[in-house]
A and B are shown apart, each in its own frame.
Chain A
Amino acid sequence: MNASWEELVSAALVGAERRAVPPGSVLEQAAVQVVRGRAGRRPLSGRAPAPAPAETLPLAPRAAGDRLARLLSGEHARLLPEWLALAARREVRVPARLIPELLDLGARDRSIRAHLGAVTGARGRWLAGLNSAWSYLLAEPAHVPPGEVWELGTSGDRRAYLSRLRGEDPAGARELLERGWGAETPEDRAAFVAILADGLSMDDEPFLEAALDDRRREARQAAADLLTRLPGSRLSRRMAGRAARLLTDDGRGGLRAVPPKACDSTMERDGVRARPPAGTAQRGWWLQQVVAHTPLSFWAGHLGGRTPGQIVRLRIGDWAREVRMGWTRAAILQHDPEWARALFEVEPLTDLLAVLPPREQSDRAAGLVRDHPVDGQLIMMLGGVAAPWGPQLAGAVVEKILRTADAQPWNAGELIRLAGERLDPAVHARVEEVPDLAAVLRFRSDMSKELV
């Protein structure tokens, strides 16, 4: 008797006895069929995916690729973003075998995605097309030759293209944007408006004023933020008008603040958000936003020719906190170092440091490091100081590490980690008294030498 495989399986399931076949024969026939099936299996017809496009970037040098593998295996893992940034700047691509691990990391960590777009090359995009978990990569800019990028590129490519054009020809970039504005997606519109920050001038004002009526809140907000940097803009003048009523000289060396009673539709159009975050008083929230969107240059004229340093020290009765937060936000939005400096003197907020030139950030931070104990706040402040740290800050931090290492090893550890990432790696030979720090800096120094 010669049974089919299905018959054999069915006999085995219900029992050979019921089918009145000898069980030994079922097993023997099954053995023949299993081995025959394995030995006689023919290839299927199958098609491989279409090949990835050719690479346009050179491969990173071998030593650099090996170092990337070390970073991915957990050695100095915090330096991975720096490696990626260096590689993106040097316009090299990573070894293909490491791309899947990098894309997995990027799926969890947005902050490295922009660099991944550049360094994973054509192969990275090809893989992202095969695995939906990696599709985010297709929105990141890559080094693609210009030409038809604006028309056909991914949104990341188009953002990169617009940024570059804006740097060379600000009016050309804006006009390009205006031509196809209606057809852009809401996400793209918000991102494109933000790109106009570079080379911003009154020529952009009509376009931005029109964008205040955009359907997308992010696009409206981005336009409003930019218009406050143009003191001559219609939005700036409207805000100044509101601010003039809300904050006045009380004639006795102080200021009097009166928050708005309502948030009307014209305020909302100008970027004031009606609904406060949880736990914030509504009227104070509106006051803060009006101050934040008023050109800082307005205040000197409004308050009797006082300097920013004098203004921030004026006594304010009620709502003092909201007004100061508004100024702080304005200094950051409008990139006004003079106001940032004045506000920092009163309250050293990390966010204000970012507005100052790098060297000054570093020097002011050095003063704080010298005068304050190492605590979470100091570390957070230092976290906001851009790399590389200048010599003053470097000296202050190393001295602090040596002084805290014995008493508070945990705090010293945090400081060492941060310093390892932010100090200029070239100083590694001068910090040998902190071996852990020297090791990280040497690693970074080698890393940047390999990526040339």
Chain B
Amino acid sequence: MSAGLASVRRVMERWSRDQVLALAPDAASRKAAAGVSAAGKWSGTGALPEAVWGECRGSGATPYRTCVDLSEPAYRCSCPSRKFPCKHALGLLLLWSADGMATAASPPAWAAEWLDERRDRAAKKAGATAAGAGDTGAGHATSGPGGDDRAGDSLGGPAGDDAGGGAPEGGGPEDGGVRGPRPGKGRPAAEQRESRVTSGLSELERWLCDQIAQGVAQARQTGLADWDDLARRLVDAQAPGVAGVVSRLSRLLREEDWPGLLLGEYALIHLLAVAHRRTAELPAELRETVRSRIGFPVTRESVLASPPVRDHWDVLGGRDEEQDRLVARRIWLAGRKTGRPAMVLSFAPVGQALDASLVPGTTIDADLAFYPGASPLRALVAGRHGHVAAGPPPGMPLSQVPARIAEVLAGDPWADSWPVVLSGVTPSEDALADGEGAALPLHPSSAPPWRLLAVSGGRPVTVAAEWTPGGLRPLTTWDEEERVVPL
């Protein structure tokens, strides 16, 4: 198997401009990167199948030395920027992407040194077992924020424990209760958390019943204050997942059908509280799902200790969402052999580097470790074995989507996001349709999908999309030249 790997590494395709720009931490970086992507700014550039490097003339006397390890990817630059990857690394990649760089026989000493270091480290890591946090490509110094996993983040997004941005990073016992009181004397933190969550959720259950008993007709007037208060109490009760769901309820009030939507959300929150109360009766996997929805932390170590799933993973696309001065980046993947979907979540404070190691439109040979649960989706990249040139991912016919989603919801009734790759679908202004006259509606925020319509021209295409209860949100498609098009 390893002999075959060496050869797939070699055929790695040059990334498109869009793929490079998708790595930028923010819009300002994209713009700045374009400014340093001209050949005139660079000297001593070169590229190998696995690395690109060059020296960029800046305002100072000595040029910045920039090197990118494409296999990971990982970035290194001598500039003082706190952004990651910095504009020089992105500019260098843009230059490479535009074919503005000669292939070289070998990198200069300064680049070779860093690349060797990385290779040694990777070899050491491969030698050891899948333990500890992986080097996810942090480059500027040694501690850049790569795919650092935050303590206790839940699928519901960063809330509560994570929202402060000052939660302890990586390693250590995962109690990041920055707002909650410290654990009492002699009583283990975990046990105390359990009892806090239990009382917090039973209070929540009562609160919900009161709301329904009294009627929610006044929610438009009182909801905002009520939910704020409730979310705060849930944070104190160390149930950040539920707190996040509650704090997002205000969005529903904008909808015409808000009473029905609100009842639906209340019902699902209530279901979660009841599930926690009766947790002993649940099957083990569902119990894990309930705990992760509530916001109990799962350590990286325990995830990485589970048996990894090796596959060729298509990086389908991603979305960044800002909440409470923290940006959450979701990257969705799909395995070619296993057919499994996955989602890699990372966080960074606004304006700072996000994990840029998964490039949409590429396919990686990697080991993924999944967080436990009944419909497991969230995963960590436990180990990488290089890129694969594979073309657009295989998709499923539209007619199979409902059954797939039913399966997901049977495992995890709270699931509200799931990646799907559809093949042979033709987009219209508000739906994706197959050749048989069946159609799945798009999420209103994604309609009309002009870029997708432009690429398809009324003909069937492959579309990677995020399923949500409100409709599909297209992520990526592939054009007539099989080039990846982010949507």
**Judging by beta carbons under 8 Å apart, are A97 and B485 in contact?**
yes
Say if the beta carbon of B108 comes within 8 Å of chain A.
Answer: no
A12 in contact with B212 (CB, 8 Å)? yes
| B413 in contact with A35 (CB, 8 Å) | yes
In the complex, how many angstroms separate the beta carbon of A105 from the nearest chain B beta carbon?
Answer: 13
Which residue of the partner chain, among B217, B438, B455, B458, contacts A46 with CB atoms under 8 Å? B438
- Please indicate the chain B residues that have their CB under 8 angstroms from the CB of A14 in the complex: 215, 217
The 8 Å CB contact of A47, one of B37, B274, B437, is: B437
Residue of B nearest to A100 (CB): B450
Measured CA separation A67–B451 after assembly (Å): 18
Asked if A111 is at the interface (CB within 8 A of a chain B CB), the reply is: no
**Distance in Å: Cβ of A442 to nearest Cβ of chain B:** 7
Q: Is B98 an interface residue (CB 8 A)?
A: yes
The interface residues of chain B, by DSSP majority, are classed as: helix
Q: Given A13-B259, A126-B458, A127-B454: A27 and B398 within 8 A (CB)?
A: no
Q: How many residues of A contact B (CB 8 A)?
A: 62
In the complex with contacts A15-B215, A17-B214, A44-B441, A28-B270 CB distance below 8 A: yes
Contact call A27/B38, Cβ cutoff below 8 A: no
B198 at the interface (CB under 8 A from A): no
Q: CB-CB < 8 A to B440: which residues of A? A: 43-44
A131 in contact with B431 (CB, 8 Å): no
Whether a CB of chain B sits under 8 angstroms from the CB of A38 is: yes
A40 to B437, CA, bound (A): 19
Partner of B454, one of A23, A43, A73, A123: A123
Q: Is A99 among interface residues, defined by CB-CB distance under 8 A?
A: yes
Residue interface bits A267-297, CB-to-B below 8 A is 1, else 0: 0000000000000000000000000000000
A357–B380 Cα distance when bound, in Å, is 68
B479 interfacial contact with A, CB 8 Å? yes
The answer to whether A39 and B450 touch (CB under 8 A), given A5-B260, A45-B439, A46-B439, is: no
A44 engages B214 (CB within 8 Å): no
- Quick one: closest A residue to B212, CB to CB? A23
**Contact of A12 with B209 in the complex, beta carbons under 8 Å:** no
Residues of A within 8 A of B266 (CB): 12, 27, 30
Chain A residues lying within 8 Å of B441, measured Cβ to Cβ, are 44
A74 touches B428 (CB 8 A): no
Q: Does A41 contact B (CB under 8 A)?
A: yes
Please state if A130 and B453 are interface contacts (CB–CB under 8 Å).
yes
Whether the Cβ atoms of A100 and B454 lie closer than 8 Å is yes
Q: Bits for A21-57, please: 1 = Cβ < 8 Å to B, else 0.
A: 0011011101100110011111111111111100000
Contacting residues, chain B, for A99 (C-beta < 8 A): 454
B residues near A171, Cβ cutoff 8 Å: none
CB of B353 closer than 8 Å to a CB of A: no
Contact of A40 among B406, B454, B455 (CB under 8 A): B406
- In the complex, whether A378 has a CB less than 8 A from a CB of chain B is no
Q: Is the CB of A97 within 8 A of B217?
A: no
Interface residue? A18 (CB, 8 A): yes
How long is the Cα–Cα vector from A131 to B448 in the complex, in angstroms? 9
Interchain CB contact under 8 A, A23 and B18 = no
A38-B450 contact given A47-B428, A48-B458, A438-B40, CB 8 Å threshold: no
Q: Do A12 and B263 touch across chains, with their CB atoms under 8 A apart? A: yes
A95 within 8 A of B: yes
- State in angstroms the CA–CA spacing of A273 and B97 once bound together: 58
| B3 interface contact, C-beta 8 A | no
- The residue of chain A having its C-beta at the shortest distance from the C-beta of B205 within the complex is A24
Known contacts A9-B259, A43-B399; is-contact A69 B18 (Cβ 8 Å): yes
Which residues of chain A come closer than 8 Å to B98, judged between CB atoms?
Answer: 63, 66-67
**B357-405 contacts to A (CB < 8 Å):** 398-399, 401-402, 405
Please, how many angstroms separate the alpha-carbon atoms of A123 and B454 in the complex? 7
Q: Give A413-452 interface residues, CB cut-off 8 Å to B.
A: 435, 438-439, 442-443
B40 CB to nearest chain A CB (Å): 6
B153 smallest CB distance to A (angstroms): 24
Contact A96 B398 (CB under 8 A): no
> Do A34 and B17 contact each other (CB < 8 Å), given the known contacts A46-B433, A96-B455?
no
CB distance from B478 to the nearest CB of A (A): 10
Distance, CA A110 to CA B434, complexed state (A): 38
Tell me whether B141 is interfacial, beta carbon within 8 Å. no
Is there a chain A Cβ closer than 8 Å to B58's Cβ? no
Find residues 240-277 in chain B having any chain A CB closer than 8 Å to their own CB: 259-260, 262-264, 266-268, 270-271, 274
Question: Chain B interface (Cβ within 8 Å of chain A)?
Answer: 16-18, 21, 30-31, 34-35, 37-40, 97-99, 208-217, 259-260, 262-264, 266-268, 270-271, 274, 398-399, 401-402, 405-406, 409-410, 413, 426-429, 431, 433-434, 437-441, 448, 450-451, 453-455, 457-459, 469, 479-481, 485
Write 22 A-B pairs (CB below 8 A) sorted by A numbering. Answer: A12-B212, A13-B217, A13-B259, A16-B213, A23-B210, A23-B213, A30-B263, A31-B267, A38-B469, A39-B406, A45-B439, A46-B433, A48-B427, A48-B458, A49-B426, A49-B429, A59-B481, A73-B21, A73-B34, A95-B479, A98-B454, A126-B458
Binding site for B on A (CB under 8 A): 5, 8-9, 11-18, 23-24, 26-28, 30-31, 34-35, 38-52, 59, 62-63, 66-67, 69-70, 73-75, 95-100, 122-123, 126-127, 130-131, 435, 438-439, 442-443
Top 9 A-B pairs, shortest CB-CB distance: A46-B439, A15-B215, A48-B426, A51-B458, A30-B267, A43-B438, A52-B457, A23-B212, A31-B267
Given A24-B209, A28-B274, A50-B458; 8 other pairs, CB 8 A cutoff: A17-B213, A27-B270, A43-B438, A43-B439, A48-B458, A49-B428, A70-B37, A435-B40
